[in-house]
């Protein structure tokens, strides 16, 4: 078993559906819960470097950005119908 787990990030359309598994079965505690749809303008003004601004692809809106070490991160959201 992994000991000293520092953190895990889980994206879900329905986090309440997954919460019992991660909390009750795996024994993890919920640290931070944030809503989807990050504010692109706020992040840009904070100096976040976007490789691709939020763009709709069929049913998904995807934004790709870099963290301070240059790792790529993709934010995904269901596109509005």
pLDDT digits (tens, 9 = 90+) for 9-53: 676 767 788 889 988 998 888 876 666 576 788 888 899 999 988
pLDDT given at position 59: 82
- Which residue in this structure is represented by tokens 């995904």? 76
pLDDT at 67 over 80: yes
Domain ranges of the chain: 1-33, 36-81
Is the pTM of the predicted complex or chain greater than 0.75?
no
36-81: what fold? 3.30.720
Strand order in the sheet with 49-57: 49-57, 60-66, 72-78
- Looking at residue 81, its pLDDT comes to 61
């Amino acid at each position: 078993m992994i000991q000293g787990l520092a953190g895990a990030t889980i994206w879900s359309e329905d986090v309440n559906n997954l919460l019992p598994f991660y909390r009750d079965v795996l024994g993890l505690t919920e640290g931070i819960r944030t809503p989807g749809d990050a504010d692109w303008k706020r992040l840009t003004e904070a100096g976040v470097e976007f490789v691709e601004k939020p763009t709709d692809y069929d049913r998904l809106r995807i934004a790709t950005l870099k963290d301070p070490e240059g790792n790529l991160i993709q934010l995904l959201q269901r596109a509005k119908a």
